[in-house]
Amino acid sequence: MSKTVIAIDAMGGDFGPAVTIDGLARIHKARPHASYLLFGNEDRISAELHKHKALSDICTIIHCDVDVPMDAKPSVALRQGRKISGMWKAIQAVKEGEAQACVSAGNTGALMAMSKVILRTQPGIERPAIACIWPTVRGESVVLDVGANIGGTAAQYVQFAAMGAAYARTVFGLKKPDIGLLNIGTEEMKGTDEVKEAAELLERSELNFKGFVEGDGIGRGDVDVVVTDGFTGNIALKTAEGTARQMAEYLRQAMGSSLMTKIGYLFAKSGFDALRERMDPNAANGGMFLGLNGVVVKSHGGADADGFATAVEVAIEAADADMLGEISRRIEKIQTLLDDAWAESLD
């Protein structure tokens, strides 16, 4: 396999280089063809690199004076970080072809704003979306949009579906991923006009559309790709994370309630460890920005080194599998459908 270069916004996230560099150290043996461009404060990055000798050969530090604060508004981050911040330069490296993907654990809004400004949307795509990998009872599904856009038109939902299908194809290796539209009922009369219109378009598309999916169908793994708008998707994602933590807390309380349950916990420890691993959000870390002329992955700001490593692996896989080309081909296939629907709306 030829070399894959990943641009890393090394200062991003709640812990900066301590986590981002440690994350790279955890995967460099499993991904020997990957090398990294590290953007950020040279001294701090070097200090971390010294702890992981084997990494030095495959890392190049590009010193940047400006970090994007985690709580900056996107507009402020763009004004203050344009051309000089590590985040900007990491994305710019993808644009220039110096890297095949960019990974950041920094400010989500700023990363989306800069990515859109630098990379622009792929032909036929109106708005980029953020896709997450959602663990399900059956395995894993792709859910998008989970935060890039509030609301959306029917055409945008169809574009999201095509992008999600391309992502599932490249990352899960699914030939014909099935697609559902998130809605409040599986009957036809419910939902917003945009969602209902999107369903009509998807029925007529070459995508493997399975109809509406309700909130409880996501974790059940009803479909491979769940399409929604960024407001609803983000609230669904956060609600699921909150519920998982709540269940873990209930379990902790239940297991500490008596001597018998404590003994039981010790016997069952391997089971509980397996459970903790399945519930670990770091294992599914990595918000993929879809629809841009470049691969950008957002790692959770609070992710640990394993979580950041997962995000970098997702970026490597998307780059290696030519996800952008796959999205282009999918979008091309639905273009006529969307053009005709648009022309009808002018009648």
Choices 24-32, 49-57, 245-253, 339-347; region in contact with its own copies by CB under 8 A? 245-253
| Inter-CA distances, 223 with 92, 198, 215, 285, Å | 35, 17, 12, 20
What are the φ and ψ backbone dihedral angles of 207, each rounded to 5 degrees? Answer: -75, 155
Choices 54-62, 121-129, 258-266, 333-341; region in contact with its own copies by CB under 8 A? 258-266
CB of 164 to its own copies, least distance (A): 17
The partner residues of 140 in beta bridges, in order of sequence, read 135
CB of 245 to its own copies, least distance (A): 7
Give the nearer residue to its own copies in terms of CB position, either 117 or 274.
274
Give the nearer residue to its own copies in terms of CB position, either 138 or 176.
138
Pick one of 137, 139, 344, 347: the residue that binds its own copies (CB under 8 A): 137
Pick one of 43, 278, 325, 345: the residue that binds its own copies (CB under 8 A): 278
Instruction: Name the residue with tokens 């990055």.
Output: 45
| Integer Cα distance of 157 and 186 in angstroms | 17
Pick one of 18, 25, 174, 275: the residue that binds its own copies (CB under 8 A): 275
- When asked if residue 79 is in the footprint of its own copies (CB under 8 A), the reply is no
Neighbouring C-beta atoms of residue 142, cutoff 10 Å: 27
What does the block give as tokens for 229?
């708008």
Pick one of 198, 218, 319, 331: the residue that binds its own copies (CB under 8 A): 218
What does the block give as tokens for 84?
């000089």
Per-residue mark of binding to its own copies, 82-111 (x: CB under 8 A): ---------------------------x--
CB of 287 to its own copies, least distance (A): 13
Q: Which residues contact 331 (CB under 8 A, 6 or more apart)?
A: 122, 123, 124, 125, 159, 162, 163
- When asked if residue 264 is in the footprint of its own copies (CB under 8 A), the reply is yes
Pick one of 270, 344, 346, 347: the residue that binds its own copies (CB under 8 A): 270
Neighbouring C-beta atoms of residue 215, cutoff 10 Å: 16
| Integer Cα distance of 118 and 334 in angstroms | 26
CB of 337 to its own copies, least distance (A): 25
Strand order in the sheet with 208-213: 59-63, 34-40, 4-9, 101-104, 295-298, 287-290, 129-135, 140-144, 225-227, 178-182, 208-213
- When asked if residue 139 is in the footprint of its own copies (CB under 8 A), the reply is no
Distance of CA 319 to the CA centre of its chain: 14
CB of 315 to its own copies, least distance (A): 24
- When asked if residue 283 is in the footprint of its own copies (CB under 8 A), the reply is no
- When asked if residue 192 is in the footprint of its own copies (CB under 8 A), the reply is yes
Give start and end residues of each alpha helix (H) in 86-207.
86-95, 108-119, 154-172, 193-204
Pick one of 46, 272, 280, 293: the residue that binds its own copies (CB under 8 A): 272
- When asked if residue 147 is in the footprint of its own copies (CB under 8 A), the reply is yes
Per DSSP, the three-state class of 173 is: coil
- When asked if residue 153 is in the footprint of its own copies (CB under 8 A), the reply is no
- When asked if residue 284 is in the footprint of its own copies (CB under 8 A), the reply is no
Pick one of 232, 282, 285, 310: the residue that binds its own copies (CB under 8 A): 232
| Integer Cα distance of 133 and 314 in angstroms | 10
- When asked if residue 15 is in the footprint of its own copies (CB under 8 A), the reply is no
**DSSP conformational letter for 300:** P
| Site of interaction with its own copies (CB under 8 A) | 71, 73-74, 109, 135-137, 147, 150-151, 182, 184, 187, 189-192, 214-220, 228, 230-232, 234-251, 254-255, 257-258, 260-261, 263-272, 274-275, 278-279
